[in-house]
Structure 1
Amino acid sequence: MGEVYRARDTRLDRAVALKVLPENLAADASHHARFQREARIISSLNHPHVCALHDIGQHESRHYLVLELLEGETLAARLARGPLSQSQAVRVGAQIADALAAAHRHGLVHRDLKPANVMLTPSGVKLLDFGLAKPVSAEVVVTPLAATVGGGTPATAEGQIVGTLQYMAPEQVQGLPTDARTDIFALGAVLYEMMTGRKAFEAHTPAGLIASIMRSDPPAVSATVPGTPGSLDAVIERCLAKEPGERWQSAHDVKLQLEWLQSHATGAVASPPPATVHRRVWGASLAAAFAGGLVTATPLVVALWRSPAGPVDLVPRRLDMALPKDAALWTGAIPDVPEISPDGRWVAYGATVRGRRQLHLRSLASTESKVLLDNEDAAFPFWSPDSRALGFFAQASLKTISIGGGAARVLAPAPAPRGGSWGGGRILFALGRTSPTLPDPGGAGLYTIPETGGAPRRAEIPPLPGTLYFRPRLLPDGRSFLISTFPANQPAAALEAAERGHQGQSLRLAALDSRESRLIPEVEGPASARARFAVGHMIWARDAQLLTRAFDPRSGQFTAPEVVIAQGVRVYSVARDGTIVFQAQSSSPFTQPTWFDRKGVREGTLADPDAYGGLSLSPDGRRASVWMGSRAGNQDVWEVDLSTGVLSRMTSDPAIDSDATWAPDGTRVAFTSARSGTLAVYVKDVASGREELLAPMAGRPLVVDGWTPDGRALVVRQPGGRNTYIVTLDADRTLRPLVANAFTMDETQVSPDGRWAAYNSDESGAWEVYVARFPTFTSRRRVSTAGGVQPKWRRDGKELFYLALDSSMMSVPIDTSAELTVQRPIKLFDSGITPDPGLTQYGVTPDGQRFLALDRSGREGETLTVLLNWLTPENLGRR
């Protein structure tokens, strides 16, 4: 829309393009609005493949835009001379996809991508004409269609569905809502035309053209252009999928695929061999996007999610995906689990990055991760059935967030969450306890809530009195679900079960509209909490082996022997089609206890590198406690003799034990364990080995932070850090609230004189270290200046240490003799630690001259492993 002239900007003495709104349209409000909208959109997109806007104005009644003058020709003019070569088409397509991705990141859909709106210049592609672009959230008005086909007037005039018909997606010709995937369909049509010289959809009449777009698939490019690689066929076919959910979900992913093809254009590219089973498959085009590459050696190049109508390869493949180097998955009592989306295209995972808890999203076709949530303690993420949104728990609430970005939405209160699942238009979630705003506030249980929000409803599965529930997993029918159960408020029974190695946990098959549940005895103990069902198989882990077995959910019976599909597995999840993602134990963040002096000089190491979760020095500086995982999947506390480096086991329960901290006199160690069915605090006498459960809040999870200097009480908190308490160790076990707030508060350490407490909190939006009076938590002062976690006092109380978020060990001179006096922090050295606000990762000797730290320097980043086609009958039959 508009007339374009070559002009000269006399102020800056440069050639420009002048786009003028014709006089006969200037008086029309809709055309004027469209002209103004185009100006706003172009001005917001500063991108090398989008035509730049220099100015906008009005001269008398004539509205105009001053645009970048482009030398070259439109893609339409170039195609009038014939198709492009494969390398040209792939290069141009990648640049168009890059421009679209930039527009989509700004929340804009072009809606009129066609060769006439693509300019080919010496510097590359320039995308033109954003006059029909709209925000993704804009309403769609259905209007009559009266377009001509071919060289006639394009179907962009008033009163018609906007766009140019040959490049419209099915939803667009129906007047349905459009989004970024509408542009991806048009991109597929343009790619097809660049390769073949023919339009993807052709007919003599608009009605015939609409029918073709809605019902027909164009012949494969390789059928018209011999030698076209099957991988390029698959990229275009997926762009042109009729259903938006079956297309590429982002233009950035298309760009990555085309860039990979461009880099491999000189090599021979084989089409996949024929197969009798039609199934989604991944191949080397995906592997090229993974930092780890393809592990299996069979040569095959196919693109992601080839059209179901085409023959595909069923060879099992194993791919490694590197996480960002500074991202560490939490390996504690409730570890971060990489959750693969139902469609197998995305992985969501929680990670700690420089002391900040983040929820990451990673496309399996990309080398980059996207941060969905920053500095929010998101736990138990789970996917919507359409793979477009995530549910999770944070700040004692159940929330959802679109993977496209935006703010999270609160659906319901959720104190002490134990996992959730999404299906059948509702969310099923488990709580360790409830709140007054939920039904039956006196106890824990299962609840359902509509996926759009509303009042939660109790979803108990009686008769299971005195039972806690963990990680519900809805099956594909949206009604049946798997649930892990274990005794609540019955420590003795739970401990007795733990002695048999079962920890009282079991797996049950239940249904939302049934009063019955079925025990699945073959999957018991900790394995029950993560068992998954996909493609007719139950998948679970036992002794770090990932197992599968054919399972009939209607009868609740296994129908085949179990098969080992992977070794050394720590955490895992499974997509709807059976694609598996897991983290191997060898990929955990291995560290090594390392001595540093105050200048950062390494003075030696202790023990071997391992998956240490944390560390604590004894008050005399002669021993340390560390907690680390084992191949069996549990975690125990170990004592390290600092003179010899020899490790001795301190705990041996099959449950997760962590957070060990020494009493001031060195005779006892307090630690956190899940062995009683929920997180609880135990005290161990070092000499006798006797362990005692502190249960002042039966059924409510508690973790330990530290001791008071007289050794008579412990500072404990609820997971998530909203409530901090002090519990005395006398016969009454008195529990007294210290502080409750809306922010996370962690790692509270009482000063040697007992008058002050240091802790880290996220109340400022980033983790910082504070000091406040103890036990009132008044006269509060922030002592860190650019982020910090894990404060530690020197024995005389005159110096406070903490970790900055960039791993620096910091020192704060401090005076607590009268009122609190704090000096500016001083950097001592780079510790080599990936800081975590909920862990203790270093210790300092009583004189403050030496530091024992879990050094990760020089270690490789963590990886996730993806298994493709592992659950096919052909593969399982060979194992």
Structure 2
Amino acid sequence: MAILGLAGFLGPASSDPHRGTGRATRRAEIVGLAVTDSSGVAISPDGSEVVGYDVTPSRPALLRRSLDSFEIRRMPGSENGFNPFFAPDGRSIGFFSGEQICVLELAGATRRCLARAQGFATGSWGRDDAIVFSSQTSGEPVSGLWRVPSAGGEAVRLTTVDASRGERAHTYPQRLPDGRNVLLTVLGETQNGVAVVPLAGGTPRTLLANASRGRVVPSGHLIFWDELRGRLTAVAFDPDRLAVTGVPFELGIELNTSSDAVVSFDVSDDGTLVYSLGGMFGGDFTIEIVDRAGQPTPLIAELASWGQPRVSPDGERLLLRRAAQPDCSLWLFDLRRHSLARLGVDGDNHNPLWLAAGESLLSSRQDFGRLDRQVYRVALDGGGPPEGIVVNAGFSAQAESVSPDGRFLALTHDNRRDRNDIYIHDRQSGETRPFLVTEFDEDFPAFSPDGTLLAYAANDSGRNEVYVRPFPGPGGKYLISNQGGTGPVWSRDGRELFYAEGQRLMRVAIERSPRFAASSPQRLFESPDYVWERPRNYDVLPGGSGFVMVRRGAATPATRSLRVVFDWFAELERLAPKGAR
């Protein structure tokens, strides 16, 4: 992988020396490693190594960076891996992939997968070589914390989510130094909390309300995310009583809290802090129309975390998603009058799609208290409540495309932290069936304008490429891209197929007679100024004269980064003295 630079020490932040070392607290920035809504970050116990997530859409995997080197290296065997955590000796990592918990030696070996782990799973590796991990899946009995030997064996349940107490999930476990207890976050219907539970299992005991992401560090503090104030906070912790003592103190550290990334930090045993900085999808984006030569014309100047533009069937309106916490909203822009209005759609809305007549839309929505997404039809005139189209499908469903007659929906089994598959929902029969379900990742299906072909992206070759298959089948697949690609979009006449290759917009001419044929890919334009990280974050104007694109602002660089604070315990003691009450 390309070598990415260390931004350098930003200067000493405190003259207080780390106890026993005589070293001052120092800061640095790592460019090219970051967190997303798909993964957090981990640092080795000795503070020498950082593992993060590769945000490149065509090659999801884990990356490692030694803090005494400028090189960021891909980790073979970690493909589709997320939420890494280190073994106590720092020689191996655990992570999650393919709905399993896996382990991998840093020296190089084939990964070993130990047990089933679903959803946004997280883990912690104890000195007894037992791993505690979370597995959260809506409506299934596997939610809660589990324990499994790192060498393999049967997974044993530690906790069970108690819905009668308003609990939704148990996550972010940490094996405590005593080896007998586990710190965890309890996600609730109305609030979250940091709790503790014996390694033998039982009911979690709350330590802090309105808090999450708790971590006990060797300095004698419990670090946590204060959800009311939105700040990283520390409080003294008594390891014998398993209780917090004294007054919590804000640490003055700005963590990434954008909608595209989890709040993430980690601390090594020697006092090195690493945390997330900046998001792919900041709040300073604008919308432009870009012609085929890459020349832009401003369209929406209002700054927001815009995404997923979708042009109406008549070409006169534009649907947009505006990312925010806790919910993403939908907006409508009139291309003739240049007016922008928010749609009155409740919940966390994703991937808006027009239905053929342009009088209603589809939204893939995640309601409060649910861990999955469901698809609803929403009338633009506000006539009546949203209508459930794909609900209780048994997986988190995201509508990606609608057939021209409006009968079929192409869905993804939306498991952004793992493998995606393509399903088809028949609105006439109400049936949802698999279309393309393999051991690989298939995503971003798009119906051709005549409804007889389905374009999509898949990584069965080792990287994402764009393919086309006959719909409803049978038939073989046709390769469209040749140097990687994702997020295909058809022209309105079906004679062209567009897709993103890195920071390039590519075009392929399509022939249908006497048989299917695709031309060699042609680059239309290339620019780091557009938000390519979210695939299919653009749309094609009628007639194919141009594209609606999302331009990133200066405050949201194309390359993400992490911040590292060396010898942080000295600063922590100054900010949050354990004797304060």
TM bucket by the smaller chain?
0.7 to 0.9
Q: What fraction of aligned residue pairs are identical, expressed as a percent?
A: 26
Q: CA deviation at 1:771?
A: 0.3
Q: Deviations over 1:755-779 (max 9, x none)?
A: 1100000011111100001233633
Cα 1:797–1:356, aligned 2, differ >3 Å: closer, same or farther?
same
Kept after mapping to 1: 8 A contact 2:41/2:266:
no
Distance 1:698 1:532, change over 3 A: farther
Matches of 1:572 and 1:360, distance apart in 2: 16
Aligned to 1:569: 255
Q: Equivalents in 1 of 2:489, 2:366: separation in Å?
A: 23
Q: Displacement of 1:520 after TM fit?
A: 4.2
Please tell me whether residue 511 in structure 1 is matched to residue 206 in structure 2: no
Bigger share in helix: 1
Cα 1:510–1:793 shift into 2, 3 Å: same
Per-residue deviation, 1:674: 6.1
Partner SS state of residue 357, structure 1: coil
Which residue identity is paired with 2:216? F
2:210 counterpart of 1:523: yes
Equivalences for residues 73-472 of structure 1 within 5 A: 290-296=6-12, 310-313=20-23, 316-317=25-26, 319-324=27-32, 329-330=35-36, 334-353=37-56, 355-373=58-76, 376-416=79-119, 418-423=121-126, 424-433=128-137, 443-461=142-160, 467-472=168-173
Contact 1:375 / 1:765 at 8 angstroms: preserved in 2? no
Question: How far 1:602 sits from its partner (Å)?
Answer: 1.9
Q: How far is the alpha carbon of 1:452 from its aligned partner? A: 1.3
Q: 1:797 touches 1:815 (CA, 8 Å); kept in 2? A: no
Separation in 1, partners of 2:421, 2:235: 43
2:203 maps to a residue whose letter is E
Q: Which residue of 2 aligns with 1:549?
A: 235
| Residue pair 1:346, 1:363 contacting (<8 A) in 2 also | yes
Flag structure 1 segments of 5+ consecutive residues without an equivalent. Answer: 1-288, 435-439, 488-496
Match of 1:584 among 256, 277, 296: 277
Residue 481 of structure 1 pairs with residue 178 of structure 2: no
Q: Which has the higher contact order (CA 8 A, sep 6+)?
A: 2
Query: Residues 416 and 622 from structure 1, CA distance in 2 versus in 1: closer, same or farther, beyond 3 angstroms?
Result: same
Q: Secondary structure at the match of 2:202?
A: coil
The answer on 1:774 being equivalent to 2:501 is no
The DSSP-based 3-state class of the residue aligned with 1:399 is strand
* C-alpha separation in 2, matches of 1:780 and 1:367: 41
**Compared with structure 1, are the counterparts of its residues 639 and 512 closer, same or farther at alpha carbon in structure 2 (3 Å cutoff)?**
farther
SS at match of 1:869: helix
Alignment-derived partner of residue 287 in structure 2: 593
Q: Going by fraction, where is strand more abundant, 1 or 2?
A: 2
Equivalent residue letter for 1:565: L
Contact 1:669 1:686 in 2 (8 A): no
Instruction: Quote the residue 1:537 is aligned against.
Output: 222
Distance 2:239 2:390 in 1: 39
Match of 1:673 among 359, 363, 366: 366
CA deviation vs aligned residue, 1:37-88 (integer Å, no higher than 9, x gap): xxxxxxxxxxxxxxxxxxxxxxxxxxxxxxxxxxxxxxxxxxxxxxxxxxxx
Number of equivalenced pairs: 550
Residue pair 1:679, 1:703 contacting (<8 A) in 2 also: no
RMSD across aligned positions (CA):
3.6
Tell me the SS of whatever aligns to 2:148. Answer: strand
Name the CA shift for 1:674/1:410 in 2 (closer, same or farther; >3 Å).
Answer: farther
Structure 1: distance between partners of 2:230 and 2:389:
30
Shift of 1:642: 4.5
Q: Displacement of 1:298 after TM fit?
A: 6.2
Evaluate the alpha carbon distance shift between residue 746 and residue 460 of structure 1 in structure 2; reply closer, same or farther with a 3 A threshold.
same
Name the CA shift for 1:416/1:664 in 2 (closer, same or farther; >3 Å): same
Deviation of residue 641 (structure 1)? 4.6
| Normalised TM-score (structure 2) | 0.82
- 1:760 paired to 2:457: yes
Deviations 1:153-207 (A, max 9, x none): xxxxxxxxxxxxxxxxxxxxxxxxxxxxxxxxxxxxxxxxxxxxxxxxxxxxxxx
Distance 1:486 1:563, change over 3 A: closer
Contact 2:158 2:201 in 1 (8 A): no
| Inter-CA distance 597–467: structure 2 relative to 1 (3 Å threshold) | closer
Which residue does the alignment assign to 1:724? Answer: 422
C-alpha contact (below 8 Å) 2:145/2:171 kept by paired residues: no
Quote the Cα distance in structure 2 between the aligned partners of 1:619 and 1:447.
49
Once the 2 structures are TM-superposed, how far is the Cα of residue 565 of structure 1 from its aligned partner?
Answer: 1.5
| Distance in 2 separating the partners of 1:639 and 1:475 | 50
What is the DSSP-based 3-state SS (H/G/I as helix, E as strand, rest coil) of the residue aligned with 1:294?
A: coil
| SS of residue in 2 equivalent to 1:847 | helix
Q: CA deviation at 1:873?
A: 2.7
Q: CA deviation at 1:627?
A: 3.8
Report the AA paired with residue 734 of structure 1: E
Unaligned ranges ≥5, structure 2: 257-262
> Deviation of residue 851 (structure 1)?
0.9
The residue matched to 2:542 in structure 1 has which SS? coil
Aligned pair partner of 1:873 in 570, 573, 578:
573
Q: Tell me if structure 2 keeps the 8 A contact 1:532–1:540.
A: no
Quick one: structure 1 residues 416 and 311, their matched pair in 2 at CA, closer, same or farther if it must change by over 3 Å?
closer
Change (3 A) 1:428 1:374: closer
Question: Measured at CA, do residues 877 and 299 of structure 1 come closer, stay the same or move farther in structure 2, by a change above 3 Å?
Answer: closer
In 1, are the aligned partners of 2:58 and 2:459 still within 8 Å (CA)? Answer: no
1:617 to 308, 311, 332: 311
Superposition TM-score, scaled by structure 1 size: 0.56
Deviation at 1:431, TM superposition (A): 2.3
